[in-house]
Chain A
């Protein structure tokens, strides 16, 4: 979805380096998420945020941190990258809606940690 953008799209880094993945959205949604996708493991939630003052850990937050700089921006950082963090990372957004909770995903960032 072009309304959710991620930068960079591809990144190669070395073990021990700190890197940041960025996500921006123009959908006006208050909720934002970071997921990790590994082959055969599906999508797993790393962190989520309901607004700029609300950050919550997902099921696999160890080794990651996030920053919600504005309603439209949500960044994921790897403080000291390790090879098993090699994966495809997705940002997603959603609007608080009691009828449905559609999440809109960005195009993904493919990360390789050497």
Chain B
């Protein structure tokens, strides 16, 4: 079974704090993604990575950065947390081969509250 784990299920941070969200997958997937999910707005892509040290911006990268130093780990960084970054953050991974169908496997999510 594919396993995607996220470092925290719930997190409360203060405005201005630097926040690190960690994601680890154990299936040797090349692609990894960070989304946020908000009521009425659905799923929005923040960043994705298709290889170690490679990253591409998604639809809403402002206020976020990412790091992928190892294939299995993809970190999302909120440089200076703000209240509008209160959200559910979801990490996903996706295989490149052999099926090449690019289904995505999600972690349990981190519900971040910024006060």
Decide whether A and B are members of one complex.
no
> Which A residues lie at the B interface, using CB under 8 A?
none
> Which B residues lie at the A interface, using CB under 8 A?
none
